[in-house]
Amino acid sequence: GIQVEQSPPDLILQEGANSTLRCNFSDSVNNLQWFHQNPWGQLINLFYIPSGTKQNGRLSATTVATERYSLLYISSSQTTDSGVYFCAVYGGSNYKLTFGKGTLLTVNP
Protein backbone atom coordinates (compact mmCIF):
# COMPACT_ATOMS: atom_id res chain seq x y z
CA GLY A 1 0.00 0.00 0.00
CA ILE A 2 0.88 3.65 -0.17
CA GLN A 3 3.21 4.95 2.52
CA VAL A 4 2.75 8.45 3.90
CA GLU A 5 5.52 10.10 5.89
CA GLN A 6 5.13 13.39 7.70
CA SER A 7 7.82 15.61 9.13
CA PRO A 8 8.64 16.85 11.64
CA PRO A 9 6.83 14.59 14.12
CA ASP A 10 6.80 17.34 16.73
CA LEU A 11 7.10 21.10 16.45
CA ILE A 12 7.10 23.77 19.15
CA LEU A 13 6.67 27.41 18.17
CA GLN A 14 6.27 30.77 19.79
CA GLU A 15 3.12 32.63 18.89
CA GLY A 16 3.66 34.65 15.74
CA ALA A 17 6.21 32.31 14.18
CA ASN A 18 5.86 30.67 10.76
CA SER A 19 6.21 26.96 10.04
CA THR A 20 6.25 24.42 7.22
CA LEU A 21 4.98 20.86 7.56
CA ARG A 22 5.89 18.26 4.98
CA CYS A 23 4.16 15.16 3.64
CA ASN A 24 5.90 12.63 1.39
CA PHE A 25 4.05 9.76 -0.25
CA SER A 26 5.38 6.67 -1.94
CA ASP A 27 3.17 6.31 -5.01
CA SER A 28 0.89 8.18 -7.36
CA VAL A 29 -2.21 9.39 -5.62
CA ASN A 30 -5.57 10.56 -6.81
CA ASN A 31 -6.02 13.12 -4.10
CA LEU A 32 -4.55 14.52 -0.93
CA GLN A 33 -6.02 16.22 2.12
CA TRP A 34 -4.59 18.08 5.12
CA PHE A 35 -6.48 17.82 8.41
CA HIS A 36 -6.15 19.48 11.80
CA GLN A 37 -7.20 17.38 14.78
CA ASN A 38 -8.29 19.56 17.65
CA PRO A 39 -7.89 18.63 21.33
CA TRP A 40 -11.40 17.14 21.34
CA GLY A 41 -10.47 14.71 18.59
CA GLN A 42 -12.37 16.19 15.67
CA LEU A 43 -10.62 16.10 12.30
CA ILE A 44 -11.10 19.39 10.53
CA ASN A 45 -10.48 19.42 6.80
CA LEU A 46 -8.01 22.18 5.96
CA PHE A 47 -7.29 21.57 2.30
CA TYR A 48 -8.36 19.20 -0.43
CA ILE A 49 -5.34 19.59 -2.67
CA PRO A 50 -4.42 16.93 -5.23
CA SER A 51 -2.10 19.38 -6.94
CA GLY A 52 -1.21 23.04 -7.04
CA THR A 53 -1.44 25.67 -4.34
CA LYS A 54 -4.31 26.86 -2.20
CA GLN A 55 -4.57 29.48 0.51
CA ASN A 56 -7.04 29.98 3.32
CA GLY A 57 -6.21 32.88 5.61
CA ARG A 58 -2.95 32.20 7.41
CA LEU A 59 -2.72 28.69 6.02
CA SER A 60 -1.63 27.62 2.60
CA ALA A 61 -0.72 24.31 0.98
CA THR A 62 1.18 23.16 -2.06
CA THR A 63 1.16 19.69 -3.60
CA VAL A 64 3.68 18.63 -6.23
CA ALA A 65 2.17 15.33 -7.29
CA THR A 66 4.92 14.50 -9.79
CA GLU A 67 7.49 14.69 -6.98
CA ARG A 68 5.19 13.03 -4.42
CA TYR A 69 5.14 15.63 -1.70
CA SER A 70 2.92 18.27 -0.17
CA LEU A 71 3.69 21.19 2.12
CA LEU A 72 1.46 22.96 4.63
CA TYR A 73 2.45 26.50 5.59
CA ILE A 74 1.24 28.17 8.76
CA SER A 75 2.03 31.84 9.09
CA SER A 76 1.77 34.04 12.19
CA SER A 77 0.88 31.02 14.31
CA GLN A 78 -1.62 31.32 17.16
CA THR A 79 -2.14 29.16 20.23
CA THR A 80 -5.37 27.88 18.68
CA ASP A 81 -3.29 26.33 15.88
CA SER A 82 -2.01 23.75 18.36
CA GLY A 83 -2.96 20.15 17.69
CA VAL A 84 -2.05 17.36 15.34
CA TYR A 85 -1.82 17.96 11.60
CA PHE A 86 -2.43 14.97 9.37
CA CYS A 87 -1.74 14.45 5.73
CA ALA A 88 -3.90 11.79 4.06
CA VAL A 89 -3.85 10.46 0.52
CA TYR A 90 -6.09 8.41 -1.75
CA GLY A 91 -4.46 5.77 -3.89
CA GLY A 92 -5.74 3.41 -6.52
CA SER A 93 -9.34 2.97 -7.52
CA ASN A 94 -10.77 2.46 -4.03
CA TYR A 95 -11.99 5.33 -1.95
CA LYS A 96 -9.46 4.58 0.75
CA LEU A 97 -7.72 7.34 2.65
CA THR A 98 -4.29 6.52 4.09
CA PHE A 99 -3.02 8.75 6.88
CA GLY A 100 0.45 9.76 7.92
CA LYS A 101 1.38 9.67 11.59
CA GLY A 102 0.88 13.39 11.95
CA THR A 103 2.82 16.40 13.19
CA LEU A 104 2.09 17.50 16.76
CA LEU A 105 2.23 21.30 16.78
CA THR A 106 2.42 23.23 20.03
CA VAL A 107 2.18 27.01 19.86
CA ASN A 108 3.20 28.74 23.08
CA PRO A 109 1.97 32.22 24.03
Partner 1 sequence: ETGVTQTPRHLVMGMTNKKSLKCEQHLGHNAMYWYKQSAKKPLELMFVYNFKEQTENNSVPSRFSPECPNSSHLFLHLHTLQPEDSALYLCAAGGHGYGYTFGSGTRLTVV
What 3 state SS string does the chain have? CCCEEEECCEEEEECCCCEEEEEEECCCCCEEEEEEECCCCCEEEEEECCCEEEEECCEEEEEEHHHCEEEEEECCCCHHHCEEEEEEEECCCCCCEEECCCEEEEEEC
Min CB(15)–partner 1 separation in Å: 26
Nearer to partner 1, 73 or 99 (CB): 99
Q: Which residues bind partner 1 (CB under 8 A)?
A: 31, 33, 35, 40-45, 48, 86, 88, 94-102
Nearer to partner 1, 11 or 35 (CB): 35
Min CB(17)–partner 1 separation in Å: 26
Nearer to partner 1, 70 or 98 (CB): 98
Min CB(74)–partner 1 separation in Å: 20
Min CB(96)–partner 1 separation in Å: 7
Would you say 100 and 21 are in contact if contact means Cβ atoms under 8 Å apart? no
